[in-house]
Amino acid sequence: MIEIADGVFIRRHTELDLTLGFITGSGDSLLVDSGMDPALADEVRPSRIVLTHNHFDHVLATEAFLPCEVWAHEDCVIDESLLESRAVYYSDPFEGTLIAPTHTFRDTVTLDVGGRRVDLHHFGPAHSSHDVIVHVPDVDVVFAGDLVEEGAPAQAGSDATPSNWRHVLNLMLELNPRIVVPGHGNPVDAQFVREMALPGQN
200 occurs within a structural domain? no
Do residues 72 and 79 touch, judged by C-beta distance below 8 A? no
DSSP 31: E
Q: From the CB of residue 73, how many other CB atoms can be counted at a distance below 10 Å?
A: 24
Angle at 7 between CA 141 and CA 9, to 5 degrees: 65
Residue 177: which CATH number? Answer: 3.60.15.10
Does a structural domain hold residue 10?
yes
Minimal CA–CA distance to 110: which of 79, 135, 77?
135
Domain containing 53 equals: 2-194
pLDDT of residue 202: 52
What is d(CA 116, CA 23) in angstroms, rounded to the nearest whole number?
A: 9
Residue by residue, what is the 3-state secondary structure of 94-157?
A: CCCCCCCCCEEECCEEEEEECCEEEEEECCCCCCCCCCCEEEECCCCEEEEEEEEECCCCCCCC
Kindly state whether residue 98 falls inside one of the protein's structural domains.
Answer: yes
On whether residue 201 sits in a domain, the answer given is: no
Domain contains 202: no
The reported pLDDT for the residue numbered 138 is 98
Residue 104 lies in a domain: yes
Query: What integer pLDDT is reported at residue 158 of this predicted model?
Result: 84
Q: Determine how many CB atoms are found less than 10 A away from the CB of residue 201.
A: 10
| Residue 199 covered by a domain | no
List % helix, strand, coil for the chain (3-state, nearest 5): 20, 30, 50
Q: Does a structural domain hold residue 89?
A: yes
Q: Quick check: bond before 199 cis, omega within 30?
A: no
Count how many domains the chain has.
1
pTM above 0.85, yes or no: yes
pLDDT along the chain (202 residues), means of 10: 97 94 97 95 96 96 97 96 92 94 98 98 97 98 97 88 96 98 98 91 61
The amino acid present at 6, given as its one-letter code, is D
